[in-house]
Chain A
């Protein structure tokens, strides 16, 4: 094997692996806090990448309209829930969070879209549009089912995935899009060329991992999330609002999805259904981590990225077969290493 090729493949694998790691972490986060296996995570990636592409082209991103629709729907649902105990403060909060917030983001998008702002502004706007979707998706699809089994929640996730992917098709069309890099250019590390975009990817991944670490270790909300993950009933008994921790997990997941989309948009052509496959590769990593361990998931994701890079070079037509087939030996290993335990 040529060393240059190997280096190139490793770098390619690391770049993709870093993104899978982000997604895998989001999946573990959502699952441990809410027991939801969040299949639609990938859709946020596609939404993020496509929103950025639209902004790059100076066009208004349709996700902002979608956000407004979600917000209105949630507003109405909350209003319906309030039919028995109405309160002015509740109504105000409802209107602020579900009408004013998406409306403000919508207006911001309208204003900024045509002005061709800088890459960072576009990236931030993208995150701003996608992140609240986590909140709305949680409220619309999952909150009414908070007591359901993991299996029911998983099937709901598939439903949400179908709906979001279909909406992506309606809003973005069937064409693939590619965003502009956050910053172009190449660096030489020793004798190897490294693109600026991949530096962005490594940097963002590390920043998010470190950020999550501090969030979980140092903040009260982060600790509440961990408490919910360890024992939901116990957390509730000591005053943790498990609804709030659930919402937080979903918003974090949507944010991470949007960031991943922004990172991957410039290095791959993204279609409305690309997110699903990308998200599932995060899943392969999360499953290797037993849907529980953050560090194992992160390392496994890098592994998945590298395996993918090498197979796409040596057996490109079998790339997906091998990457998704990885799950089989992993399940065998998990099955042998885990002690039998009762399902919930």
Chain B
């Protein structure tokens, strides 16, 4: 972690204020308000993970609060179970319901999850009001307060400490999670699923993880709410509260864990103020604050899409530079294939789209220690062939194998696991993450720690190794000095190199480059060629798709030429250059 003294003193000050506030002579409703803010913050933290970080969203978080609250309410009132024992059960209930709901929506486009939660949030609200065991619309009263030994947390100012302890622990846990390997995978979700999947991130699982976590934090909020109010009914778990929680996350800044608390404070204080003064202004009492909330939501998204917390952070900039520990243990490396052994073998690969034969029984081979170029004019089927090898597209017939193992039918994630790393023709980087973090994403499969370890910071050793590996690869490709800059700051040439570093972080046996020179200036192309030669001299095998003849000619050991999906020539660059079919394909005319 990197501290900034100003931020640190601010945080310490806030914490002390929070601790002594109930002992000061403040009006009791301040404490009630702060308790409500704390509970809402928990839900909002979950939403920040889901919306701001993961790029998903939910209007149904209030329903998860309801599951947590009703679970403990029923168990403590009807069965007399201690609230501390119902805590894990309430959380499990949140997870248990989030899981299937997540499973059925994560594979769909991003907007089906929020729409699904909107509809089922309403359904759950009406359902809670119909079940006899849950007291129908009257709810459940007489819920016991929390207690430790003889001390019962009855008053607002005593449960205050319980609530805020949970809030701070949850915020730290969320912060820890984001700053880990799993967190990186979750943060990568916003850039679309393709790139993370190509580096071995299980995108469906990452989405599910964050949805379940959001459900669990909401259930925790519900559990606290039940024991604070000691009576519950369906109203606070309806869709309106669900929308309000989302408002808090958006106001605070979808993407900042501490912003969630900030957003919850703003919304609830504003609500308090509006409910006090608006009725006088308009002349009747009703929920007029929704007009202000609605307008606020629209304005924030129009003018401050990163939320208000971003403005506060800007006042206290971080001294960035991330420390890379020099003595972090090195990650395990794959054994290198003996020079000249067969790596990728494409045999009679065929791909048809309807009547169009995009790739027509193409066969070639990449052997260890070689740079192989796959070239051809536009529309020759190069990129399709590339997709067939990386698993982005499935073969119609034929086989692709890697070191004797079949690749056909495997997912991009599995193929990456075999040691085949790739770059993209249209670079897929995460502009808001640092260059170092982008590269560390490439090493995802080389770490193993899960959510629990990340939250508890038990994976620091592994994380240090992953980051050290990423830094090493950045040095290797010559981008070392940029490691702490946001990746979006780099020029296109550097971004392509960054993608190569990310691919190298996978510790691949073969590097697959999709048009690495496209859009580069001459100088950048020369630097790229130098880098690729250096990688080859270090034993890396490379397959590159390119249509820039001059770029490949001086670089590759072996050329494969496609035209209209068919292999028309193969051999050393010198031979291919003289091949009449190739000349015809490139220059047109009669060979």
Contact = CB atoms under 8 A, between A and B. Distances in A.
Q: Is the interface of B mostly helix, strand, loop or mixed?
A: helix
Contacts of A324: 119-120, 122-123, 126
B294 A164 contact: yes
A12 B286 CA distance: 33
B107 A338 contact: yes
Contact of A156 (B107, B120, B288, B301): B301
Contacts of A291: 111
Contacts of B104: 328, 331-332, 335
Nearest to A35: B111
A320 interface: yes
B105 interface: yes
A64 interface: no
A150 interface: yes
A343 interface: yes
B55 interface: yes
Interface string B42-66: 0000000001000111010000000
Contacts of B289: 166
Range class of the B interface residue count:
35 or more
Interface string A296-337: 000000000000000000000110111111011001101100
Interface in B285-299: 286-298
A160 B298 contact: yes
A169 B108 contact: no
A325 B123 contact: yes
A32 to B, nearest CB: 13
B250 interface: yes
A2 interface: no
A163 B57 CA distance: 20
B130 interface: yes
B452 to A, nearest CB: 28
A52 to B, nearest CB: 23
B130 A318 contact: yes
B127 to A, nearest CB: 5
A95 interface: no
Interface stretch (A84-92, A141-149, A215-223, A225-233): A141-149
Contacts of A159: 247, 293-298, 301
A287 B115 contact: yes
Interface in A137-173: 140-141, 144-145, 148-152, 154-156, 158-167, 169-170, 173
Contact of B108 (A149, A320, A331): A331
29 contacts: A37-B115, A140-B298, A145-B302, A151-B55, A151-B111, A154-B114, A155-B297, A156-B298, A159-B294, A159-B296, A159-B297, A162-B294, A163-B293, A164-B294, A166-B288, A166-B290, A169-B286, A169-B290, A277-B122, A280-B118, A318-B126, A324-B122, A324-B123, A327-B115, A328-B104, A331-B108, A334-B108, A340-B107, A343-B110
Given A154-B57, A156-B301, A331-B112, 9 more contacts: A154-B114, A155-B57, A162-B294, A166-B287, A167-B291, A280-B118, A324-B120, A331-B116, A334-B108
Interface of A: 37, 39, 140-141, 144-145, 148-152, 154-156, 158-167, 169-170, 173-174, 277, 280, 283-284, 287, 291, 317-318, 320-325, 327-328, 331-332, 334-335, 338, 340-343
| 5 pairs of A and B residues whose beta carbons are closest in the complex | A163-B294, A159-B297, A162-B294, A166-B291, A324-B123
